[in-house]
């Protein structure tokens, strides 16, 4: 079975949802610099730090921005895609075009927070992150139906 088929099977089993994340053209170029389509022994990772489909989506987004003179583009990213970006993009990265690694990471972490069902950070402002995650695993929270509606 190919890696992509395994990934699709895993995503279906985990019920992977996606979240829209908007990147500027400069950020897309930075993502292209660091997001690879494969790595050695990719099938041994639960969440490999490379993704052919994400690599293709980024490339197509860059082309769309350049061809249509768009300043930004929104990608629908699943947890695996967000983790690929988190693994490869460093906070201190900066490009001459104005992309910043920390801004990309914050966008991805906010999307991961949304995927975890923690849509409004103000609901949890007095808790430690570990407590929030524990509560999220035990209690679907006030926004649980939002995720279920998005999946339908």
What is the tens place of the pLDDT at every residue in 112-138?
A: 998 887 655 555 556 666 666 666 555
User: 17 is in which domain, residue-wise?
Assistant: 3-115
**What is the average pLDDT value for the chain, to the nearest integer?**
79
Q: Is residue 145 part of a domain?
A: no
Q: Is residue 66 part of a domain?
A: yes
Read off the pTM. Answer: 0.67
Q: Is residue 80 part of a domain?
A: yes
Residues 142, 16, 61, 93, Cα dihedral to 10°: 80
Please state, for a pLDDT cut of 90, what percent of the chain lies above it.
48
In total, how many domains does the chain have? 1
Query: Is residue 89 a contact partner of residue 101, using CB atoms and an 8 Å limit?
Result: yes
Distance CA 63, CA 59 (A): 6
Q: Is residue 28 part of a domain?
A: yes
List the one residue out of 52, 55, 74 whose CA is nearest residue 7. Answer: 52
Q: Is residue 126 part of a domain?
A: no
Which residues, in sequence order, are CB contacts of 123 under 8 Å at separation 6+? 141, 142
Q: Is residue 12 part of a domain?
A: yes
Residue 143 reports pLDDT greater than 50: no
Distance CA 108, CA 82 (A): 6
Region 68-81: mean pLDDT is 95
Q: Is residue 141 part of a domain?
A: no
What is the pLDDT at residue 147? 46
Q: Is residue 124 part of a domain?
A: no
Highest mean pLDDT among 12-21, 47-56, 127-136: 47-56
Residue 26 reports pLDDT greater than 60: yes
């Amino acid at each position: 079975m190919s890696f992509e088929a395994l990934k699709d099977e895993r995503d279906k089993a985990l019920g992977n949802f996606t979240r829209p994340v908007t990147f500027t053209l400069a950020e897309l170029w930075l993502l292209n610099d660091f997001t690879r389509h494969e790595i050695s022994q990719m099938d041994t990772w639960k969440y490999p730090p490379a993704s052919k489909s994400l690599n293709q989506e980024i490339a197509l987004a860059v082309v769309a921005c350049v061809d249509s003179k768009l300043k930004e583009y929104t990608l629908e990213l699943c947890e695996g895609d967000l983790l690929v970006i988190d693994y490869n993009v460093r906070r201190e990265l900066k490009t001459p075009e104005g992309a910043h690694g920390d801004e990309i990471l914050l966008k991805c972490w906010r999307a991961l927070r949304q995927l975890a069902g923690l849509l409004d950070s103000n609901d949890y402002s007095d808790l430690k992150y570990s407590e929030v995650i524990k509560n999220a695993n035990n209690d679907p929270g006030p926004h649980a139906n939002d995720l279920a509606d998005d999946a339908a």
